[in-house]
């Protein structure tokens, strides 16, 4: 039996075989939603909208709370500090956290003359989040998968990103709904998988890698977050070896990082988050190339 993919129509819950007879048909049907534009069309619109974007990077894990938003935010601001043109899409539609992380609650979106959405800009990073689309961002957004898909598709196809070197998606956990939609229509160049050292996180990070392979999205590598005495260390590296995937380094579980996150400070300029392998993977370069450059020393200072 192959990996089960559940129908994403908000009603059906049939599991489909992904291998064997009829699997291809099942796979296509399982990704289609009644009433929604066919994914091919959505994909085309997203490709068109992201024509000026060099690399589109998803930050993901099957597990919640492992530091995906922390890593996504810090990748974005590290790249901006390097002089790259960067966008950050908070793809966590119902529980968006990027705005909280950066304390941008009071910022307002504006539209363009053509009726498209302009991202907000903070410290040279263009940012969009469903937080800004909601009239009551502190109230729970109680919606089913197909609605989340539509909001994501809208953000992917209608936000005016312009020319960017890198667009980072902060993905929610799990292997359905928004991660699935992002894999299908998000035009992803590659995926960074975040895990913590605990067994449950490793198990779900593995699902993230296997899902990406199934969906033919390249896995750029695995990063171990919250590494150290409390949760242990090394399991992320072992998982990377087991899955024959690059290992992008570890970030310690640290009071300083927690406090910086709470205070909406970007941690990447600190020693705790100087991650050459991670940033190199995001840029599609070798870490040595980055380390040789002068801005790297600036970033680490």
Ligand X SMILES: Nc1ncnc2c1ncn2[C@@H]1O[C@H](COP(=O)(O)OP(=O)(O)OP(=O)(O)O)[C@@H](O)[C@H]1O
Q: How far is CA 244 from the centre of its chain?
A: 21
Q: Which two tokens stand for residue 125?
A: 């990073």
Q: Which two tokens stand for residue 225?
A: 């977050």
Q: Which of Mg ion, ligand X, none binds 173 (CB below 5-8 Å, type-dependent)?
A: ligand X
**Min CB(91)–Mg ion separation in Å:** 9
C-alpha gyration radius of the chain: 19
DSSP 272: G
Q: Does 68 bind Mg ion (CB under 5 A)?
A: yes
Q: If we measure between CA atoms, which residue out of 288, 277, 287, 301 comes closest to residue 71? A: 277
**Min CB(59)–ligand X separation in Å:** 8
**Min CB(61)–Mg ion separation in Å:** 9
Q: Which of 29, 45, 124, 254 binds ligand X (CB under 6 A)?
A: 254
Q: Toward ligand X, which CB reaches closer, 44 or 207?
A: 207
Q: Does 206 bind Mg ion (CB under 5 A)?
A: no
Residues 31-70 that bind ligand X (CB under 6 A): 64-70
Cα–Cα distances in angstroms (integers) from residue 33 to residues 3, 12, 142, in the given order: 20, 10, 19
Q: What x-and-dash track marks residues 158-177 binding ligand X by CB under 6 A?
A: --------------xx----
Q: Does 69 bind Mg ion (CB under 5 A)?
A: yes
Cα–Cα distances in angstroms (integers) from residue 5 to residues 1, 18, 29, 209, 238, in the given order: 12, 7, 10, 15, 27
Residues 78-117 that bind Mg ion (CB under 5 A): 97
Q: Toward ligand X, which CB reaches closer, 29 or 254?
A: 254
Euclidean distance between CA atoms 195 and 227, whole angstroms: 9
């Amino acid at each position: 039996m192959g990996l089960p993919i559940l129908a994403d129509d908000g009603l059906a819950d049939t599991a489909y075989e992904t291998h064997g007879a009829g699997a291809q048909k099942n796979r296509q049907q399982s990704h289609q939603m009644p009433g929604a534009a066919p994914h091919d069309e959505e994909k085309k619109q997203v490709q068109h909208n992201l024509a000026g974007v060099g690399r589109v990077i998803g930050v993901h894990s099957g597990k919640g709370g492992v530091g995906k938003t922390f890593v996504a935010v810090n990748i974005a601001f590290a790249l901006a500090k390097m002089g790259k043109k960067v966008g950050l899409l908070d793809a966590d539609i119902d529980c968006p956290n990027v705005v909280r992380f950066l304390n941008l609650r009071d910022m307002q979106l504006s539209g363009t003359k053509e009726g498209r959405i302009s991202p907000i800009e903070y410290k040279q990073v263009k940012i969009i989040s469903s937080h800004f689309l909601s009239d009551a961002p502190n109230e729970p957004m109680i919606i089913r998968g197909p609605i989340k898909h539509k909001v994501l598709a809208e953000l992917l196809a209608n936000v005016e990103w312009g020319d960017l070197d890198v667009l980072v998606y902060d993905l929610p956990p799990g292997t359905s709904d928004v991660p699935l939609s992002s894999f299908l229509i998000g035009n992803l160049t590659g995926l960074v998988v975040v895990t913590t050292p605990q067994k449950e996180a490793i198990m779900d990070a593995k699902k993230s890698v296997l899902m990406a392979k199934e969906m033919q999205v390249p896995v750029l590598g695995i990063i171990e977050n919250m590494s150290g005495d409390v949760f242990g260390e090394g399991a992320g590296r072992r998982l990377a070896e087991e899955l024959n995937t690059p290992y992008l380094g570890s970030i310690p579980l640290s009071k300083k990082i927690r406090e910086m996150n709470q205070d909406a400070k970007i941690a990447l300029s600190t020693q705790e988050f100087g991650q050459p392998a991670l940033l190199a993977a995001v840029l599609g370069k070798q870490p040595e190339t980055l380390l040789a450059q002068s801005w790297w020393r600036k970033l680490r200072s």
